[in-house]
């Protein structure tokens, strides 16, 4: 037995090298997946941009700029509360709501989709607005191409003030529910409204098609 040990040792180390290479390759692939998965998993409304997406677009590559505090206090407080809200602008989702959006989303948590990690998005204040007309298009960018069972679109009532009031279901006018959309990275649809002026919250629910997975967001718009 003893005389065979050196031979056994050699063959073991000869085996170890390809095994080590395989382990390293696996680690590299797993690391790449860990980085790319959050950024490719889901989507958001990019037009008019949702609160987190707009803050990510405007400040994501410049989020340590002290000017944000005075130029854009709402994005500033969101970054202070949790930068992950912006990095994961595509991940404002909950599974298994069964269409019970109102029952499972308390007043004051609509803009965060009742996700505590995104609570900063519910804060009233001077969120930057996107100018739109009474007829406008809503654009979803979905890196995962889930498709849509439907979108539900609401606009905050005329007289509701997003700068001072927290959004609840009673503050919304239901505008429309769309039909189904096939899986695609970009989905857009038109919305017709009337009677709105000034700063409103556009509230959109996306019921994705691959699972019972619901997204909710607020976009700040200025009807002009
Ligand atoms: Cu997804």
| CA of 186 relative to ligand 1 center, distance in Å | 14
Strand 186-192, strand 198-208: pairing: unpaired
| CA of 210 relative to ligand 1 center, distance in Å | 8
70-89 burial code (b ≥16 CB/10 A, e <16): eebebbbebbeebeebbebb
Distance CA 31, CA 215 (A): 27
pLDDT at 11 over 60: no
| CA of 6 relative to ligand 1 center, distance in Å | 54
| CA of 107 relative to ligand 1 center, distance in Å | 25
Which residues, by Cβ under 5 Å, contact ligand 1, an ion?
41-42, 144
Residues 93-122: tens digit of each pLDDT: 999 999 999 999 999 999 999 999 999 999
Distance CA 196, CA 23 (A): 60
| CA of 100 relative to ligand 1 center, distance in Å | 19
- pLDDT bin (cut points 50, 70, 90) of residue 4 is very low
Whole-number pLDDT of residue 121? 98
Residues 160-198: tens digit of each pLDDT: 999 999 999 999 999 999 999 999 999 999 999 999 999
Predicted TM-score (pTM) of this structure: 0.82
36-55 burial code (b ≥16 CB/10 A, e <16): eeeeeebbbbbbbbbbbbbb
Distance CA 79, CA 74 (A): 9
- pLDDT bin (cut points 50, 70, 90) of residue 25 is low
Arithmetic mean of pLDDT over the chain: 89
Read off φ and ψ for residue 93, nearest 5 degrees.
-125, 155
Q: Respond yes or no on whether the N-terminal peptide bond of residue 96 is cis (omega within 30° of 0).
A: no
Whole-number pLDDT of residue 135? 98
| CA of 208 relative to ligand 1 center, distance in Å | 8
- Average of pLDDT values for 120-126? 98
Of 11-20, 35-44, 58-67, 119-128, minimum mean pLDDT range: 11-20
- pLDDT bin (cut points 50, 70, 90) of residue 19 is low
Whole-number pLDDT of residue 41? 78
| CA of 211 relative to ligand 1 center, distance in Å | 9
Can you spell out the DSSP letters for 96-152?
--TT-TTTTS-TT-TTTTT-GGGGGGG--S----EEE-SEEEEEEEETT---EEEEE
Q: How many CB atoms lie within 10 A of CB 25?
A: 10
| CA of 168 relative to ligand 1 center, distance in Å | 26
Residues 42-67: tens digit of each pLDDT: 999 999 999 999 999 999 999 999 99
């Amino acid at each position: 037995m003893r005389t065979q040990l050196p031979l056994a040792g050699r063959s073991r180390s000869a085996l170890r090298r390809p095994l080590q290479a395989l382990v390293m390759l696996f680690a590299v692939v797993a690391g790449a997946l860990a980085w790319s998965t959050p950024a490719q998993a889901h989507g958001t409304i990019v037009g008019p941009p949702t609160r987190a997406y707009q803050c990510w677009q405007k400040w994501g590559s410049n989020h340590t700029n002290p000017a944000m505090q005075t130029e854009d206090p709402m994005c500033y407080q969101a970054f202070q509360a949790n930068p992950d809200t912006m990095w994961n602008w595509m991940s404002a989702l909950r599974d298994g709501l069964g269409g019970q959006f109102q029952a499972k989303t308390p007043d004051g948590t609509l803009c965060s989709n009742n996700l505590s990690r995104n609570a900063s998005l519910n804060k009233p204040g001077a969120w930057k607005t996107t100018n739109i007309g009474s007829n406008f298009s809503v654009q979803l960018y979905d890196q995962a191409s889930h498709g849509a069972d439907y979108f539900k679109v609401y606009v905050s009532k005329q007289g509701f003030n997003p700068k001072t009031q927290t959004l609840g279901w009673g503050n919304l006018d239901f505008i429309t529910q769309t039909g189904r959309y096939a899986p695609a990275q970009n989905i857009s649809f038109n919305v017709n409204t009337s009677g709105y002026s000034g700063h409103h919250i556009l509230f959109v629910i996306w019921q994705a098609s691959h699972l019972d997975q619901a997204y909710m967001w607020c976009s700040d718009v200025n009807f002009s």
